[in-house]
A and B are shown apart, each in its own frame.
Chain A
Amino acid sequence: MAQTPVIQAGASAPAFPALDRRRARRAAVWRRRRMVLLFMSPWIVGFSAFFGYPLVMSAYLSFTHYDLLSSPRWIGFANYRYLLTQDPLVWPAVKNTLWFIAVGVPLQVLFAFGIALMLTRAKWGLGFFRTVFYLPALAPPVAAVLGFVFLLNPATGPVNTILGKLGISGPLWFNDPAWSKPSLVILSIWTVGNTMIIFLAAVLDVPKHLYESAELDGAGPLRRLRWVTLPSVSPVILFSIILGVIQGLQYFTQALVASSVAAGSAVQGGDNPQTIGYPENSTLFYPVELYQEGFRFFHMGYASALAILLLVVSFAVTTIIVVNSRRWVHYGAAAR
Chain B
Amino acid sequence: MATASVQLEAAPFVRRRPPATVRRKRLLMAIGEHSLLIAAALIFLMPFVFIALTALMTHNQALSAQIWPHPFRWSNFVDVFRQAPLWRWFLNTLMYSGLATLGVLVSSVPVAYALARLRWRGREAAFLIVLIALMLPPQVSVVPLYVMWSKLHLVGTLWPLIIPNWLGDAFSIFLLRQFFLTIPEEYLDAARVDGCGEIRILTTVVLRLAKPAIAAVALFSALYTFNDYFLPLLYVGENSHNWVVAIGLSEFRSLHQVLWNTTMAATVLVMAPVIVIFFLAQKAFVEGVTLTGVKG
Contact = CB atoms under 8 A, between A and B. Distances in A.
B284 to A, nearest CB: 13
B275 A138 contact: yes
A316 interface: no
Interface stretch (B16-24, B46-54, B71-79, B209-217): B46-54
A132 B44 contact: yes
Interface in B225-284: 226-227, 229-230, 233-234, 245-246, 249-250, 252-254, 257-258, 260, 263-264, 267, 270-271, 274-275, 278, 282
Interface string A132-145: 11111011111100
A6 B188 CA distance: 12
Interface string B104-147: 00111011011001111000001001100101111111111111
Contacts, number: 273
A42 B168 contact: yes
Interface in B55-90: 62-65, 67
Given A123-B34, A146-B249, A236-B293, 13 more contacts: A4-B188, A40-B111, A42-B107, A42-B166, A54-B148, A61-B144, A121-B30, A140-B246, A140-B249, A143-B267, A190-B44, A240-B293, A314-B140
B227 A140 contact: yes
A42 B111 contact: yes
Interface string A316-334: 0010000000000000000
Interface in A137-192: 138-143, 146-148, 150-151, 153, 156, 158, 161, 164, 190
Nearest to B151: A68
B4 interface: no
B144 A57 contact: yes
A297 interface: no
Nearest to A271: B254
Contacts of A5: 189
Contact of B139 (A33, A135, A291): A291
Contacts of B188: 4
A140 B143 contact: no
B120 A119 contact: no
A158 to B, nearest CB: 5
Contact of B246 (A35, A142, A287, A315): A142
A290 B233 CA distance: 14
A129 interface: yes
A42 B167 contact: yes
B118 A308 contact: no
Contact of B271 (A1, A134, A140, A311): A140
Contacts of A257: 229, 250
Interface string B169-196: 0000100000001001100110010000
Contact of B144 (A53, A118, A134, A264): A53
Given A138-B278, A303-B143, A236 B167 contact: no
Interface string A25-38: 00000001101101
B270 A143 contact: yes
Interface in A49-98: 49-51, 53-55, 57-58, 61, 68
Contact of A133 (B44, B106, B234): B44
Contacts of B295: 336
B43 to A, nearest CB: 9
Q: How large is the interface on A (under 10, 10 to 19, 20 to 34, 35 or more residues)?
A: 35 or more
A202 to B, nearest CB: 6
Contact of A269 (B130, B192, B257): B257
Nearest to B263: A146
A318 B264 contact: no
Contact of A143 (B50, B62, B233, B249): B249
A188 to B, nearest CB: 13
A2 interface: yes
Contact of B293 (A36, A239, A256, A265): A239
Interface of B: 30, 33-34, 36-37, 40-41, 44-45, 47-48, 50-51, 54, 62-65, 67, 106-108, 110-111, 113-114, 117-120, 126, 129-130, 133, 135-148, 150, 164, 166-168, 173, 181, 184-185, 188-189, 192, 198-199, 223, 226-227, 229-230, 233-234, 245-246, 249-250, 252-254, 257-258, 260, 263-264, 267, 270-271, 274-275, 278, 282, 286, 289-290, 292-296
- Pick from B119, B143, B275, B282 the residue with the most CB of A within 10 Å: B143
Interface stretch (A16-24, A222-230, A246-254, A276-284): A246-254
13 contacts: A33-B120, A54-B143, A61-B144, A118-B37, A129-B41, A135-B278, A138-B271, A201-B293, A205-B294, A294-B146, A311-B136, A311-B140, A315-B135
B250 A142 contact: yes
A27 B239 CA distance: 53
Contacts of A158: 50, 54, 67
A1 B181 contact: yes
B229 A201 contact: no
A289 to B, nearest CB: 10
